[in-house]
Amino acid sequence: MKCLGSFILLALLNLLTVFAGPPPSVYVKDASFEYYIMLDSSNVAYITNVLNKNVKTITVNPYVYYNGQRYTVSAFASGVADSAVEKIIVPSYLNHYFSIWNSVFSEGKKLKTLQIDATNVEIFEDSAKDASSELQIQGKGVDNMIMKYAKKYLESHNISIDENIRYASDYEKKCALYKIAKLVNKNFTYTLNMANPNNGAVALLLGKGSSLGLARVVRILALASGYEQIDIRVGGDNIYQGWNYAKFGTSWYILDSVHSEFKDRDTCSTSVFQCSEQFIKGVLNPYYGRLYQGSVDNFIIFHDLYGYPNEVYDATPDNFLIWLQRNRQGALTYSC
């Protein structure tokens, strides 16, 4: 009898929920935006429209007020279609969670700069795939946003995050890094046909970039998976090509996610970790042609993680061999 009473009570509650419908909502405006507000206990608002279609730079407001109640602006949902917006700023004084939705990128055909200064911003996987090829991503909040994105990206592609990878054997480290490089090789497009192909944050979110941009993506994903910063670096030839340096023990190898072969069935192949002589003969010299002869003396190392303007105080790359010697970081493997 008690069970029957509980069943009847549950059924009545379900009926009440159905007939009551969703909580009431309202659209409100301030000087800059239109917002959608659910009039429930959540006290959150979503940007749904930019009111001045001629404005080129907009700054997200942390709060909006309605009937004396303060609502937290927690998402930029839409509203840039048919607008002149070229730059969106998420300011440092926005201290709560904030997300930017797919429609902002797909509708913002004139969007050129995403300035992320807040530290709790989220962009969902594939949300920016339709963004303008002119897009630049920069700001002090980029690292938190991109690392959050990178970890979820790895999880959605069944690549584990292992904070203890630093203690693994060299073979285990190579296999873990192989999976990341293969993921980039198979899912990202190598191209220079965009405004900021060397920016790792742009390359990760748009799914395309230069060899330098994609090398930065490999490093970003490796760091998100548990690698230490010193063990995976980004370098290049100071002309067109970029790649990763991977450290195992005291030896450094070259990892090129763009030009290396990653077979579909392979879960691990240590052959993608190349010595410099092999890499120069097999990749650089054929790429540039017979008038170019590659040399490790020209190899450089980058010190910024993402590659956006003013990311670090001095973004000037170092000669890799000199950097190794100065910092006592081992040696580049010349021949295999």
For the segment 163-182, what is each residue's pLDDT rounded down to a tens digit? 888 889 999 999 999 999 99
| Gap between the Cα atoms of 164 and 335, Å rounded | 30
In this predicted structure, what is the pLDDT of residue 290?
75
Nearest C-alpha neighbor of 215 from the set 275, 269, 256, 182 = 256
In this predicted structure, what is the pLDDT of residue 331?
96
Q: Are 212 and 239 in contact (CB under 8 A)?
A: no
For the segment 284-330, what is each residue's pLDDT rounded down to a tens digit? 998 888 777 788 999 999 999 999 999 988 889 999 999 999 999 99
In this predicted structure, what is the pLDDT of residue 287?
87
The ranges of the chain with pLDDT < 70 are 1-23
Q: Which domains are present in the chain?
A: 28-132 (3.80.10.10), 168-336 (no CATH)
In this predicted structure, what is the pLDDT of residue 6?
41
In this predicted structure, what is the pLDDT of residue 160?
86
The sign one gets for the Cα dihedral 320, 324, 175, 217 is: negative
For the segment 265-280, what is each residue's pLDDT rounded down to a tens digit? 888 999 999 999 999 9
The sign one gets for the Cα dihedral 230, 147, 211, 154 is: positive
Q: Rg of the Cα trace of the chain?
A: 24
| Gap between the Cα atoms of 145 and 59, Å rounded | 18
Residue identified by tokens 């030009």 is 259
User: CB 174: neighbour CB atoms within 10 A?
Assistant: 20
